[in-house]
Amino acid sequence: MKSFEVQFRFQDRTEAAIQSTVKVDASSLPGAVAKATREFVKGLDRKQKFDMNKSGLEITAKSAGAATDAPAAKSAEAAAS
């Protein structure tokens, strides 16, 4: 599994930008966006969900680094050398 960092942004009714970053582990970028979106939307109240739907949700995703299984694999390779 890989680590991804997904950033969300939308305009609130007070014209303030609501911004949040979620780190998730997933096997692919689309899976990471879906998983992070579910987590993000669960934390919003009814008015915030309405504002998000009205103004649109901006999603930015990027890989956060190496795979989570990589450190264990590297240490096993080093021991074999």
Tens of pLDDT, residue by residue over 11-40, are 988 888 889 999 999 999 999 999 999 999
pLDDT at 79 over 70: no
Domain ranges of the chain: 2-80
State how far the Cα of 15 lies from the Cα of 80, in Å rounded to an integer.
Answer: 58
Q: Whole-model pTM above 0.85? A: no
Mean pLDDT value across residues 35-53 = 92
Best CA proximity match to 36, nearest among 55, 15, 57? 57
Instruction: Quickly list DSSP for 9-59.
Output: EEE-TTSPEEEEEEEEEESSHHHHHHHHHHHHHHT--HHHHHHHHHH--EE
Tens of pLDDT, residue by residue over 52-67, are 999 999 999 999 875 5
- How remote is the C-alpha of 20 from its chain's centroid? 9
